[in-house]
Chains A and B, each alone.
Chain A
Amino acid sequence: MIKMTNLPATSSFMACALTLSLSLPAMAADFRGPVRIVVPFAPGGTSDILARYIAPELSDAIGQPVIVENKAGAGGNIGADFVAKATPNGHTLLLSDLTALLAAPSVLTNISYDIEMDLAPVTMVSYSPYVMGASNAHGFESFDAFIDYSLENPLGISVATSGVGANNHITTARLMQELGVEWNVIAYRGGSDATRAVVSGESDMLLNGTTATLPFALNHQMTPLAVTGEERLTELPDVPTFRELGMPGELDGTYQGILVTAGSPPEIVERLHEELGRIINTEAMTARIAEQGGIARVSGSPEALGEWMSEQKTELAAFISDAGIAQ
């Protein structure tokens, strides 16, 4: 109780300290001309929606127009490549699903940029857990029943993914390894096609973001068996997390983050981190991110995101070559 009452005071004190300590370098970090947020996916997806939420707020904060541009293709790598090769002045940002980009060098050949060398971290934006949804066709009622069936019937369960090398493909492969089961992994053309397949009973299970799966789970067109992340979802209080079921922490869902062209002035990157962090942590923005099935999650510093990214990248590379996902 004491902790609770103290919280607002502490945080406002910290905010004061932060503003004080940061007000000096911020003076030098002015933006000249419009800022672009490149979204490497088609309009209407999670990254795009987040970018469009953030753009007007960022524009207010820096006093320059902020434009969202979609450069879709090659699983996000065309847009990322574009930002990697942009003028390094901190005016070209990339808002993307980070796991997809971190896995790309291990999955695709001919990626013409290096995510660690050519792009610089700014901040994480949000994290979205996965829901493991089973088709109603088999009538599985629990995670254990599903796994028991999978163990008894190797390749008897088909799992839909959003595509070869996609996030949920990697997570599916991780689960197979962890559980020692053998599933028939079927690649679809994107997440909604995979969802259609599980709703229709053509495939038996998929792992996908909450926005895509919750409506079907709540409407009993799909059975939710487990969720990723640290906590259960408020919408699905009876569905256990993978951690509760003894699965490893890496089964984590998707992370959206903002990167910038490498070599951009550090004071500009610092200013971006500060402004974006403030924007993302406002109550209104957190609520909007929650509407998209995400949880706002700002990195403590650009360096912290950088460390997280290189850990993830190494880890993904090792896993992908072991699991034989890469071609």
Chain B
Amino acid sequence: MDLLSNLALGIETAFTLENLLYCALGVTIGMFIGVIPGIGHLAAISMLLPLTFYVPATTAIVMLAGIYYGAQYGGSTASILLNLPGTPASAVVCLDGYPMAQQGRAGVALMMTTVASFVGSFITVIVLAAFAPPLASFAVAFNSTDYFSMMLLGLVAAAILVQGSPVKGIAAVLLGLILGLVGTDVSTGIQRYAFGLTFLYDGINIVAIAMGIFGVAEVIANVGKVKGVQSAQKITFRSLIPTRQDVKQSIMPMFRGTGIGTGVGILPGTGTSIASFLAYAVEKRISRHPAKFGKGAIEGITAPESANNAAAQSAFIPTLTLGIPGDAVMALMLGALLIHGITPGPNVISDNPSLFWGLVISFLIGNVLLLILNIPLVGLWVRLLKVPYPLLYPSIVLFIAIGVYSINYSHMDIMLVAVFGVLGCLMLLLGFEPAPLLLGYILGPMIEENFRRALMLNQGDMMVFVERPVSAAFIALSVLLLAWSAYSMVKDRRTARMAAGQ
């Protein structure tokens, strides 16, 4: 068996003392980085990159990768406890995680997201080991037309995220799309809405938006409110243990989330945020009790959590098999390989089998470590809620500021967080939701870029979107989803009218 001998090679590589140590170091750093709002894995990895000069290539990548997927675990902790996401990808976990915490189920939520993270990662690593090369060729075959149609489906799904008034939800998505316009237009090189400010040439930093509209807005909204309510909660060991019902309700969402995350993560340029948003939308759409979502539905945290972890792992597939990085973090990993004299490209696996298989096995080890590390910490994190407002919230604002600054070393990004904090407060007061805005912001630029590129490549022929099978399938799904939404709206109205008539 080829796979078996490869795995044996991987085990041999990953279980050296040095690699084990660096793996543990990486995942531990990653986990804490993920918990702290604003400080992202990108900043952490670029800061630690120089350290890896002095260790072998495999060890370096094992550690840097550990930070990346480790951060996916911690991201949801602050989402659940404080309604402010540790990373943009875990913003969607706020929707149901925070209500769970308010119901005194913070411990359960943290426990289940840890398990969901583990399931998502572990399954995806196995997929990575078994099918990396064929999956990579699928990723390459995906072209601009298909990207456009997939992102369109994502935008249609954004409507599902909306909890309150649909009109306000759509307005939030549109505002997100407009914010996405800021910066240099890829197709023409024109600066749009940058007002001659160089720091806006690359668009608004997504972390600044996420931390502003979720984090700072939440901090301001909680002035004077938090104290009495949450410190009254007693933390018992029992309150940390999920019920059988919780587990039962989470199994299928975790698998679906993993599937969605793996699929999205393989595609270069999509990222973990889209995976978690899509997974949430799917769960809400297929649930028999969609009304429960937004009020503490366990599926609403486990599915997206599995999805973002799965996406973080499957992002390694195009990076390692093709040498094509999907995002800035993956580009950094390839940079680390270059520093060690390994040219990224389609032959990385065949030229350096011990690197690839050692990394795969280290992923498994790292995820088991993360599970072991996270479960005892759940009790500790929950105690964070007992920290009084005057201590906890100002330190959060400080962490957000440090975190945002660490991405580009730009003080303007901190200003942007403040601006978006005010915007987030206004939205909160007026009943607009931040999650659809964030999704609109993420998807907007990708939709536009791929739409225009697809048309440029096909001499403006719109038919191309329905001629390619993959694209056609996504378009059909979007249309179905829209039709279904319209139908259920009409049906709801009719039943409401009948109920009123009785």
Contact = CB atoms under 8 A, between A and B. Distances in A.
Interface residues of B, number: 50
Contacts of B334: 44
A256 B269 CA distance: 27
A107 interface: yes
Nearest to A221: B346
Contacts of B331: 42, 44-45, 192
Most A CB contacts (10 A, CB to CB) among B186, B188, B189 go to B189
A327 B188 contact: yes
A78 B184 CA distance: 14
Contacts of B338: 44, 49, 211, 291-292
B408 A187 contact: no
B376 interface: no
A186 B457 contact: yes
B343 interface: yes
**Which of A110, A112, A163 is the most central at the interface, judged by chain B CB atoms within 10 Å of its CB?**
A110
Given A73-B202, A193-B269, A42 B332 contact: yes
Contacts, number: 142
Contacts of A111: 198
B345 A78 contact: no
Interface stretch (A11-19, A125-133, A195-203, A237-245): A195-203
Interface stretch (B70-78, B140-148, B210-218, B220-228): B140-148
B453 interface: yes
A52 B332 contact: no
A289 B53 CA distance: 16
Contacts of B323: 215-216
For the complex, would chain A's binding face be called helix, strand, loop or mixed by DSSP majority?
Answer: mixed
A74 B412 CA distance: 14
A69 interface: yes
A291 B339 CA distance: 9
A142 interface: no
Number of chain A interface residues as a range: 35 or more
B6 interface: no
B324 A192 contact: yes
B408 A73 contact: yes
Interface string B138-177: 0011111000000000000000000000000000000000
A73 to B, nearest CB: 5
A189 B269 CA distance: 10
B457 A202 contact: yes
Given A163-B189, A164-B188, A327-B188, A73 B269 contact: no
A40 to B, nearest CB: 11
A300 B186 CA distance: 38
A146 interface: no
A179 to B, nearest CB: 21
Contact of A189 (B346, B347, B409, B449): B449
A210 to B, nearest CB: 9
Given A200-B140, A215-B346, A49 B339 contact: yes
B191 interface: yes
A43 B456 contact: no
Interface in A234-280: none
Contacts of B269: 189, 193
Contacts of A233: none
Interface in B465-500: none
B335 interface: yes
Contacts of A216: 323, 345-346
Interface string A54-81: 0000000000000011111111011001
Given A49-B339, A77-B201, A203-B457, 18 more contacts: A48-B335, A71-B409, A72-B202, A73-B199, A74-B199, A78-B199, A78-B201, A78-B410, A110-B191, A163-B184, A184-B456, A196-B140, A196-B268, A197-B143, A200-B143, A214-B343, A215-B323, A327-B189
Interface of B: 46, 49-50, 53, 140-144, 184, 186-191, 196, 198-199, 201-202, 268-269, 322-325, 328, 331-336, 338-339, 341, 343-347, 408-410, 449, 453, 456-457, 459
12 contacts: A42-B46, A42-B331, A43-B335, A45-B331, A52-B53, A52-B339, A72-B202, A78-B408, A214-B345, A215-B343, A219-B347, A327-B190
